[in-house]
Amino acid sequence: MSVETQKETLGFQTEVKQLLHLMIHSLYSNKEIFLRELISNASDAVDKLRFEALSKPELLEGGAELKIRVSFDKDAKTVTLEDNGIGMSREDAITHLGTIAKSGTADFMKHLSGDQKKDSHLIGQFGVGFYSAFIVADKVDVFSRRAGAAASEGVHWSSKGEGDFEVATVEKAERGTRIVLHLKSGEDEFADGWRLRNIIKKYSDHIALPIELPKEVAAAEGEEKPAVEWETVNRASALWTRPRTEIKDEEYQEFYKHVAHDFENPLSWSHNKVEGKLEYSSLLYVPARAPFDLYQREAPKGLKLYVQRVFVMDQAESFLPLYLRFIKGVVDSNDLSLNVSREILQKDPIIDSMKSALTKRVLDMLEKLAKNEPEQYKSFWKNFGQVMKEGPAEDFANKEKIAGLLRFASTQGEEGEQVVALAEYLARAKEGQDKIYYLTGETYAQVKNSPHLEVFRKKGIEVLLLTDRIDEWLMSYLSDFDGKSFVDVARGDLDLGNLDSEEDKKAAEEVAKSKEGLVERLKTALGDSVAEVRVSHRLTDSPAILAIGEQDLGMQMRQILEASGQKVPESKPIFEFNPAHPLIEKLDNEQSDERFGDLSHILFDQAALAAGDSLKDPAAYVRRLNKLLVELSV
């Protein structure tokens, strides 16, 4: 054992303590995954060395044969995993093994529910696979030295997985990292070559470098102990380079867990090799769950990038648009240079071509999932639907394709569930219907019971009910689908086109003409509160509603702008009244101008409340209503 210097004891970050507790108590039913996680980390370390050594070959220190070795000692009850990858300095060990520097840590902790099964899937997502060692070990020793550093600059990190860890400087001749797990009582099964071999074959066969286990051979004459030979136990070839026909579903699933640091199987995947003008391979996955940082647009995202099977970078975000940021996988190009940087990727025309093709491949994969496995797609939509709604604004070229993947609640859909596809909506549209009708609002209950839907219920016309905060913004970019334009039923002067008979239209015109006097009285009474007053064609049961001007912002967009601190353009609603309603008839016959004004304002405020808006002067509304109640009780 080398002499240790500069030894100190440091405390774990609070979040690490919580994660350690979660690791130990949530994953006890699947303990063997600790080896998968440690091998995955070792593979990443070797990838990073291989890439850095392209420009600094001296980092290989004469040892260009990159590998991972797993060994065990039954008597000492230890399992050791060693790689000759990039290694860690003392500062690296403190930073990477004692703290979580990743953004969104607080959000991650908020997502922990206390339900062990639900919480376990978050662990891998957060990239903290190293701590899985404490599922089976009550003490972990890490010996490491960064490639290129002096042998005297090795580091020894040690912890029992409780409140603190020790770190010391040691002599380490070889670059890379050696992790020694001191197994807990009852975990001796892992100090066994057959058991370790099976775990590696099960979870890590796809790792694209040799994973070696010791193979005992008979002792030579005169030797006390048998010599130790090492044998490779995994396939040791990059999964995406193999023909699809040779790869089992289980292999695809395990590779996904490696690249995504996830504990669950993906919903779907697409493996493709492109040859011709451009040559590249891609393996793309749709996760089963949304990561906790999905809505943090600055969070790391993107595919693992390889160039001629050499790892170049994690989270290469130039290959897919932002609305597909949840897609995981790898892309391996023969056309890019090995020294490619993020800045170069953003300007390279090759990338634009690859991005376009990969985007279409993802959308095709989602179309296939929606068609062949609707229940799986329903799960996908629940997790990623709001992100997909960013697509039409960001990806004009694929707008129609994205629109076909969108799902909405509707007046004929399941209670509040976003399950209606636009193609389904059009398939059951009324004869002569040439529009797609929708209504936006804050909640499903609010839009479902909106007075704006009354004429549509009467005529049996389906209306899409849009309640996500992003929906109004989405519809500003989605003008039509399959040749049919979208119409907001709360906006402008509603025209049902061929769905209204000539008799209906003529009767409406006559009623509007007969109520011109009432329209003028209401304009005078409501004054600056409204942009316009008119007879409504939308209402059958309610006395009045507020419509939005064709060019005005709706409530959702106004709230988004207000929340972001932007100035909201001033606009006034259109007051529409139902001439057949008893309250409107009474209002039309009211002789007192004061009472007419009070009743008009009460109807206006009630229409605002029905639309989900807040009153500008609630006290005035209460005063007028109380005055009316007193008059009625006299």
Instruction: Please give the tally of structural domains in the chain.
Output: 4
Do residues 115 and 95 share a domain?
Answer: yes
Do residues 35 and 168 share a domain?
Answer: yes
3-class secondary structure for 270-337? EEEEECCCCCEEEEEEECCCCCCCCCCCCCCCCEEEEECCEEEEEEEHHHCCHHHCCCEEEEEECCCC
Burial zone of 513 (CB within 10 Å; 0-12 exposed, 13-18 middle, 19+ buried): exposed
Do residues 24 and 48 share a domain?
Answer: yes
Check: CB of residue 418 under 8 Å from CB of residue 385: yes
Do residues 449 and 598 share a domain?
Answer: no
Do residues 244 and 372 share a domain?
Answer: yes
Do residues 492 and 520 share a domain?
Answer: no
| Final residue before a domain boundary, out of 234, 267, 283 | 234
Residue ranges making up the domain that contains 96: 5-234
| Final residue before a domain boundary, out of 443, 464, 496 | 496
Report pLDDT for 103. 43
Give the count of alpha carbons within 13 A of 314, CB side only.
Answer: 14
Residues of the chain predicted below pLDDT 70: 1-2, 22-29, 100-128, 216-226, 297, 552, 554-556, 558-564, 633-634
CATH number for the domain including 257? 3.30.230.80
Do residues 492 and 506 share a domain?
Answer: no
| Final residue before a domain boundary, out of 496, 516, 534 | 496
Do residues 224 and 274 share a domain?
Answer: no
d(Cα 243, Cα 240) in Å, to the nearest integer?
8
Check: CB of residue 8 under 8 Å from CB of residue 34: no
Check: CB of residue 340 under 8 Å from CB of residue 312: yes
Do residues 434 and 545 share a domain?
Answer: no
Report pLDDT for 104. 46
What angle in degrees, to the nearest 10, is found between the helix axes of 374-388 and 349-372? Answer: 140
Do residues 420 and 470 share a domain?
Answer: yes
Q: What is the pTM of this model?
A: 0.77
- CA 268 to chain CA mean position, Å: 15
CATH number for the domain including 419? 3.40.50.11260
Give the residue from 410, 414, 480 showing the smallest Cα distance to 440.
410
